[in-house]
Amino acid sequence: MNPNPLRWTFRSQFVLGFVACAGLLAYALYVQFVQRLLPCPFCIFQRIAFAALGTVFLIGGLHAPLRAFGRRAYGALAFVPAASGAGIAGRHVWVQLFPPPIPSCGAGMDFMLQTMPLTGVIRKVLTASGDCSNIDWTFLGLSMPAWSLVCFVVLAGWALHAGFRRR
C-alpha cells in the first residue's frame, strides 16, 4: 500500500473516514460517561451528523464502486452530513462566542422529543439555550465544538477528495 493516504484506494480512504468518525464518537462517549461532561442539544446533533457521516463512509468503503460515477456519488453523499455537521458545529461555536443575554437551560432532549415534533425540536435546538454557551473543555485553545467543526471540514474535504480524485 502506498504510504501517502492521499493516494490510497477509494475503499481504504472511505474506511479510514469511517474509523475517524467512530473514534470521534467513541471519544464523545468517553467524555460523557467517564469524565461526566454532559452533552448539550447541539452536541447531540453533532454526534448524529458524525454517525451519519460514518455510516456513509462505511457503506461506501464496503461497496467500493469501480466506476467514477459511484465513487462521486458516495463522495457527494458523504459531503451532505459533513456539511450539515459543520453548520451545526459552526452555530455552536457562534453561540459560545456570543452567548444569549439571558441564559436558560430549557428542557432536555428526551422531553423535547416526546412533546414536540422533530422540526420543532430542531428549531428549538438551533435557537440555543444557555447551556450550549458553556465552554467546559478545551484543547490547544479550542473548545470541543470548534474541534468538531475542524473535523467536519477535514472529513468533508476527505470525502470529496476520495470521491472525485482522478484514478
43 is annotated as an active-site residue: yes
CATH class of 5-164: mainly alpha
pLDDT in tens, 22-33: 999 999 999 988
Task: Spot the catalytic one: 7, 21, 40, 165.
Answer: 40
Backbone dihedral angles phi then psi of residue 138, each to the nearest 5 degrees:
-140, 155
**DSSP-assigned beta bridge partners for residue 138:** 143
pLDDT category of residue 111 using cuts at 50, 70 and 90: confident
Task: Spot the catalytic one: 21, 91, 132, 151.
Answer: 132
47 is annotated as an active-site residue: yes
132 is annotated as an active-site residue: yes
Task: Spot the catalytic one: 47, 71, 91, 151.
Answer: 47
Residue with cell 453561540: 95
d(CA 167, CA 159): 15
Segments making up each domain of the chain, as ranges: 5-164
d(CA 99, CA 129): 9
